[in-house]
Amino acid sequence: MDIRVGGGYSMSNFWFGEGIRKGKKTERFPFAPPEEPPERPSRMEGSGEPYCPTQAIKDGKWDAGRCIFCRFCEPGYTPTGKQDIFKVNRTEPVLKKSFYIYKLDSGACGACNVELETIFDPQYDANRLNIFITNSPRHADAIVVMGVHTDGMKEALKNAYEAMPEPKLIISMGACSISGGIIGESPIGREKYHVEIAGCPPSPYTILEALARARGD
Partner 1 sequence: MRYKFGEPSGRYIGHWGKYHVYADSISEIAPDGYNDLPVHKMAPGEFNFQYGPSTGGLMESVGITLTTPGELINSVAVDPSYKARSLKLKGKSIGEALLLVERINGFHAASNSLSFLMAVEDALDLEVTVEVQKARILQLELERIRSNLEVIKRLCEPAGFGVPTNQLGYLREKVSRIISGVAGHRFFFGANAPGCSRVSSSGINEKLSEVGQEFQRLYAGLLESKIFLNRLQNNGVTKDSLLTGPAARASGLRYDSRTVRGELPYMETPFYPVVREEKDCFGRFCVRGEEVLNSIDIIASLGSLKETVRTEIPKGSGEGCARLESPQGDIFYYVQLKNGSIEDLWHVSPGTLNIRAFRESMKGNIFTDFHFNWESFGIWISELGVVIQ
Give the interface with partner 1 as residue ranges (CB under 8 A).
1, 3-5, 11, 14-16, 18-19, 22, 25, 36, 38-41, 53, 68-72, 102-115, 117-118, 120-124, 133-136, 147-148, 150-153, 156-157, 160, 181-184, 200-201, 203-204
Nearest residue (CB) to partner 1, 94 versus 114: 114
Please, what's the largest Cα pairwise distance for the chain?
69
What's phi and psi for 152, nearest 5 deg?
Answer: -65, -25
Nearest CB to partner 1, comparing residues 40 and 96 = 40
Of 105, 88, 107, which is closest to residue 117 (Cα–Cα)? 105
* Least gap, CB of 147 to partner 1 (angstroms): 7
N-term to C-term CA, the chain: 50
- Nearer Cβ to partner 1, position 15 or 94? 15
Residue 93 beta carbon to partner 1: minimum distance, rounded to whole angstroms: 26
Write down the least CB distance from residue 107 to partner 1, Å. 5
Full 3-state SS string of 96-165 = CCCEEEEEEEEECCCHHHHHHHHCCCCCCCHHHHCEEECCCHHHCCEEEEEECCCHHHHHHHHHHHHHCC
88 or 202: CB nearest partner 1:
202
